[in-house]
Structure 1
Amino acid sequence: MSNVWLTAYDRGVPEHVEVAQFSSLVDMFERTVERFQERPAFSNMGRVITYGALDKASARLAHHLRNVLGLQPGERVAIMLPNLLQYPIAFFGVIRAGLVVVNVNPLYTAPELEHQLRDSGACTIIVLENFCATLQVALRTVDVPNVIVTRVGDELARPKAILTDLVVRHVRRLIPRWHIAGAMQWRRILSVRVKPNLPQVETGLNDIALLQYTGGTTGGAKGAVLTHGNVLANALILGAWFAAVGTHKGEKYLVALPLYHALALICQVVNRFILGGCGVLITNPRDLNGLVAEMRRHRFRSLAGVPSLFQALAQHPDIGKVDFSETVACCSGGAPLPLVVAEVWKSATGLTIVDGYGLTEAAGVAVMNPLGARPQRSGIGVPVCSTEIEIRREDGSVAASDEPGEIYVRGPQVMRGYHNQPEETARAIDAGGFLATGDIAAMGRDGYLTLIDRKKDMAIVGGFNVFPSEVDDVLLRHPGIREAAVVAVPDAHSGEAILACVVRQNPHLTEAEVIAHARASLTGYKVPRRVVFLDVLPKTPVGKVLRRVLRDALVEPGQ
């Protein structure tokens, strides 16, 4: 299929983006901070750090890592931090030292943390004190020689820093007891006021920048090897894409997704950083009251989230008090966007959610809707600049227009492969450089894609394919349902059957009412056979429902 989607691009958006305008992320950083010295780069908890201050702080950290600890180019440094000012300092400090970032979910259990540290070969970890007890347990079985510990208030202005740390430790009691011999203090490392002797770094576009671990929603987490070129490609592609709505000097963008996730780090932070934007870091987006309060303090140009975040915000009683007058883009990714969520968000805010699609292995985004005016929402959009998409059948042939098949992606943002897993890499990336995503979509004659579901989530009921997201969308339209996710369970008659997991808005909602609602919109084999009511649905940190966890919890052993 020819690149028919190019006709859908907003005016001025190029077919290709030149990645080599920077020689590496280090080059990008140093040229950008020189250009925007006095502009605010990030804000968090009332503290603002400028591009110039970020330059100095990250240089001190880079100096310590290379010249004090003696780390060599290419060694791995794990970052186990939530959205605090410490994160961008750590990220750029590690990159400037010629080292590789290993992003770690701060909510990991000790076994999960142990696996990632061992698999990545991390020799250093930068960790928030709140999670040191977990790290202490992991360190019993994996050796990480250098541990740098930071507190929540370390980058805040005094006396707020002192007060914040007192509240975290003694009022909210968020820091379990821990002891890690030889642990270094972040504040002491960054308090060195002498001009740091920055290491001489010769880093190129093909050098590794990140070991970005997949969320593990369909199995054990694997480390996607992302190069400086991969990261810059996606950041520059999105910069070109967003040029359709213009860039304002020092514009703010809301970072509610965790920075250890590719969508927030690459598609928001690196992308907007190049353009001189200011990221408003939300430390705990699960605190909806705190998130909405922070949204009310800033006029931001863009925000990104997963469907569940937009749904929750739309239902918040104070969302109408947020000033969206400067907001030009609300971008959704990470999971199929139910039409009902787009509708309730539009009703609550007057804004249209711009849907998109990406994955860790493609450094964030591969498909997105144009940002210019369109008469209606059209699925997840079209392939972004420099990106090719093919929809393939099971036999590997290219599917016809509107025929569902697996998404294959090729472009400069596609990973080099999986760390230390050549067989998995060979299965994921074919000889032509196309990445098999495991996601099912259909492409129309105009190049627009409609995401259907994950290939591994698809159920086969009596020989018929059932995509859970389609059933989810129907269930969410019931006013008595707050959240819903369906999974496939073994069935003696039909092979598999559909089981609905529902969080009630109406506490009196019954199983019969849910099934009757589904039957009114779905053909028989798609209707849930059973309904289970839960208090919450298990999710990844970015809000994707963990269907595998639901299925494992609800299917009896031996079935």
Structure 2
Amino acid sequence: MNANIFATFEAIAREAGDAAFLETDDSQVISYARMLASTARYAHALVSLGVRPGDRVAVQVDKSARNYCLYLATLRMGAIYLPLNTAYRADELAYFLADAQPRVFVCEPADFAPRSELARAHGVAHVMTLTEEGGGTLDRLADAQPETFDTAQVAGDDVALIIYTSGTTGRPKGAMLTHAGLLSNGLALTKLWGFGRNDVLLHALPLFHAHGLFISGHCALLSGSRLLFLKKFNAQQVLSLLPRATVMMGVPTFYTRLLDEPGFTAARSTNMRLFVSGSAPLLADTNRDFQQRTGQIVLERYGMTESAIITSNPLVGERRIGCVGQAIDGVEVRIADDHDQLLPVDRIGGIQIRGSGVMKGYWRKPEKTAEEFTADGWFRTGDQGIRSSDGYLTIVGRAKDLVISGGYNVYPKEVEMAIDALAGVAESAVIGIPDRDFGEAVTAVVVRQDPGLTGEQIIQALKGRMANYKVPKQVHFVPELPRNAMGKVMKSTLRETYAGPLTLA
């Protein structure tokens, strides 16, 4: 049996035939049969560029149906897909290209010249372009290829995806997700969330993030259902489409912005059977407001790049607001102390996981991989949580000080290093504080050498160096950072101090 996850998608797609798979913003409908033909052409195109099973294909393009078919084609021909945030700047891309060493880098036509120069410097064999309309060099190459392709035979433990995450060091790590892990996680969610052929998933998430690329999309592919494929989230557009959809997956920002729309009512949501939130903390007040407005409770779940989904509230049964539910099929969760010893229920400790969905390891970082796993094979998530006697998990904090803003991971050390490099800065600490719209707002606390330095100057300087979602929305200046007896900055103290209104002073 072929363990390639696309082999499962292919069997379902052949049965679905001319049924709609994906509908775009401009009402273009792509059937399952057409998806199979498109992925075959892109797979042939990659092979013609010398891509072989196990090679990396790095992609930094805007969301489109062609982009999604390229992802599926990469799986189909056994290569490794590497999604890159469209907000990444040249310095950030340089690291990923050097570390992953992709055979092909796919970008937007407007970025071709600078991306080609960057890619050549890091040994990338081919830089191709892709567009929504099909005018890119990879599009043209694919359009001339056959519409059939023999899906590559792979082992379940073969890597399907590398998605970069990071840590307190600020040095990104490529989490390797396998075909078997993605399939196990996808099948568990499809069953748990009750997906069937009559479902219509409203997809407004980006494709460079796990949530949009496979957590949501795979549920549709594994159930033969339809995607309403939006380039990005727009509250009014989503409102207009809710009567045609049955499920929506989003980040907390989606739900706060829907609640800001007077037209978002229970009547408008009548056809919706499920709203799911993840990738960032959903404030309890937001969920209560949502329930009061619609009569529905948003289903909260917990996942991470290194493992996809870990726990979920149930489709049928008690959805506990502020809680991320129970372990899904194929995943085990435990709470342990600092010595990896199991803690009893209702005790706060480190969340550790194991199961088929957990990553194979970090790309070319065996030492770091070994550090993150316990001696008995559990992955330390870095999150702090508490489990109830009936297995419901509540996340209470993050040991690694990760900030999740608008559903995107922001690693404080990376931002701190950029701030500390600015003229007039002595040192800095970056934290996240609760924010209704973004879940958390990136906040910088800075000790300055130049008393004339302003928060706005810091923000503008960073905007040219890193993706905008990483740039602090708030900047505070202090004479010194609070430290404990060991000299470590006490970020919990900073979070308590600055959980207030925005300031750039």
Q: TM-score range by the shorter chain?
A: 0.7 to 0.9
Match among 371, 378, 387 for residue 443 of structure 1: 387
Q: Is 2:18 the partner of 1:70?
A: no
C-alpha distance in structure 1 between counterparts of 2:277 and 2:187, whole Å: 19
Match of residue 254, structure 1, among 186, 197, 202: 202
Residues 44 and 142, structure 2, Cα contact 8 Å, conserved in 1? no
TM score, norm. by length of structure 1:
0.71
Counting only pairs closer than 5 Å after superposition, residues 151-166 of structure 1 correspond to structure 2 as 151-154=131-134
Structure 2 gap segments, 5+ residues each: 404-430, 448-475, 477-491
Amino acid at match of 1:314: L
Secondary structure at the aligned position of 2:41 is classed as: helix
User: 1:486 offset after TM fit, Å?
Assistant: 8.1
Pairing partner for 1:310 from 255, 266, 272 = 255
Corresponding residue for residue 343 of structure 1: 288
Counterpart among 182, 200, 212 of residue 264 in structure 1: 212
1:139 to 1:343, Cα distance in 2 relative to 1, 3 A: same
* Matching of residue 407 in structure 1 with residue 351 in structure 2: yes
* Alignment partners' CA distance in 1, 2:141 and 2:276: 37
Q: Which residue of 2 aligns with 1:545?
A: none
Q: Which residue of 2 aligns with 1:329?
A: 274
Indicate the larger mover: 524-533 or 228-237: 524-533
The answer (yes or no) to whether the contact 1:367–1:383 under 8 Å persists in 2 is yes
Secondary structure in structure 2 of the residue aligned to 1:43:
strand
1:278 maps to a residue whose letter is R
Check if 1:386 corresponds to 2:337. no
- Which structure 2 residues correspond to residues 123-134 of structure 1 after superposition, within 5 A? 123-132=103-112
Q: 1:134 to 1:281 in 2, by over 3 A?
A: farther
Do the aligned residues in 2 keep the contact of 1:355 with 1:369 (CA within 8 Å)? Answer: yes
Distance 1:369 1:40 in 2: 29
Q: In the aligned structure 2, how far is the partner of 1:95 from the partner of 1:64?
A: 13
**Superposition RMSD in Å:** 3.1
From the superposition, tell whether residues 54 and 482 of structure 1 become closer, same or farther in structure 2 (CA, over 3 Å). Answer: closer
TM-superposition CA deviations, 1:517-543 (whole Å, max 9, x none): xxxxxxx979843567448xxxxxxxx
The one-letter code sitting in structure 1 at the alignment partner of 2:227 is G
Q: Where does residue 95 of structure 2 map in the other structure?
A: 115
Q: Name the counterpart of 1:434.
A: 378
Counterpart secondary structure, 1:220: coil
**Aligned counterpart, 1:299:** 244
Contact 2:266/2:295 (CA < 8 Å) preserved in 1? no
C-alpha contact 1:249 1:276 (8 A) present in aligned 2: yes
* SS state at 2:286 partner: helix
Q: Secondary structure at the match of 1:154?
A: coil
Instruction: Identify if the C-alpha distance between structure 1 residues 55 and 482 changes in structure 2 by more than 3 Å, giving closer, same or farther.
Output: closer
CA distance in 2, matches of 1:200, 1:442: 43
- Of the structure 1 ranges 32-41 and 343-352, higher mean CA displacement relative to structure 2 is found in 343-352
Contact 1:252/1:301, CA 8 A, preserved across alignment: yes
Local SS of the residue matching 1:236: helix
Deviates more, 1:221-230 or 1:392-401: 392-401
Identity of aligned residues (%): 26
SS of residue in 2 equivalent to 1:144: coil
TM-score (norm 2): 0.78
Match of 2:137? 185
Q: How far did residue 128 of structure 1 move?
A: 2.9
Structure 2 CA distance for partners of 1:108 and 1:230, relative to 1, 3 Å: same
Q: Quick check: 1:26–1:203 contact (8 Å CA) kept in 2?
A: no
Q: Find the aligned partners of 1:395 and 1:216 in 2 and give their Cα distance.
A: 20
Instruction: Name the SS for the 1:117 alignment partner.
Output: helix
1:453 corresponds in structure 2 to 397
Contact 1:128-1:152 at 8 Å conserved across structures: no
The residue matched to 2:75 in structure 1 has which SS?
helix
**Distance (whole Å) between structure 2 residues aligned to residue 75 and residue 375 of structure 1:** 42
Deviation at 1:139, TM superposition (A): 2.6
Residue 422 in 1 paired to residue 366 in 2? yes
3-state SS in 2 of match to 1:240: helix
Matched, 1:209 2:160: yes
1:190 and 1:322 map into 2 onto residues whose CA distance is: 44
Q: Pick closer, same or farther for the CA change 1:375–1:71 going to 2, 3 Å.
A: closer
Equivalent AA in structure 1 for residue 285 of structure 2: V
The residue identity in structure 2 corresponding to 1:402 is D
How many Å apart are 1:454 and its aligned residue?
A: 1.0
In the alignment, is the contact (CA less than 8 A) between 1:380 and 1:449 conserved in 2?
yes
Gaps of 5+ in 1: 1-19, 156-183, 460-467, 492-510, 512-523, 536-552, 555-559
Distance 1:186 1:488, change over 3 A: closer
Measured against aligned partners, the alpha-carbon deviations of 1:504-526 in whole angstroms (never above 9, x if no partner) come to xxxxxxx9xxxxxxxxxxxx979
Aligned AA for 2:253? S
Aligned pair partner of 1:47 in 28, 39, 49: 28
Specify which of 122, 125, 137 is matched with residue 145 of structure 1.
Answer: 125
